[in-house]
Amino acid sequence: MAITDYDTPRTPAVEEDSLEELRARRDAPNASAVDVEESESYDLPGGEQLDEELTVPVVAQQADEFRCTKCFLVRHRNQRAAAGKDVCVECA
C-alpha cells in the first residue's frame, strides 16, 4: 500500500488546453456522443454465465411474523421492539 503524505505542498495543475479550445470542443456536433455497443447482456469480469433460470419460492407472511414499518422487512415476532408497534429492534 502506497503511503501518501497529505502535508506536502500541492503542485499547480498544468493546463494543456486553452479556454477557447475547450469551448470549441464543447460546441462540436458530436462532442457528447458516446459510442456504446448495443448488447443483450453485460459480462462482468470473473463472473460465470449460468444457462439455468434461478427461482426463489415466495412464502406468505406467517402468523408469528410482522412487517417493520420503517425497514419493511418481515421479522419474527420476538424481534418486535415494543408490544403493539410494528417496529423491529434494529430500527428502534
pLDDT at 84: 85
Q: What is the rounded distance in angstroms from the CA atom of residue 40 to the CA atom of residue 3?
A: 43
Cα–Cα distances (Å) from 90 to 7, 51, 62, 67, 81, in that order, read 41, 38, 20, 13, 8
From the CB of residue 91, how many other CB atoms can be counted at a distance below 10 Å?
A: 15
Encode pLDDT of 53-84 as tens digits. 888 899 999 999 999 999 999 999 999 999 88
Encode pLDDT of 12-51 as tens digits. 766 677 778 878 877 776 655 555 566 566 666 777 777 7
pLDDT at 20: 82
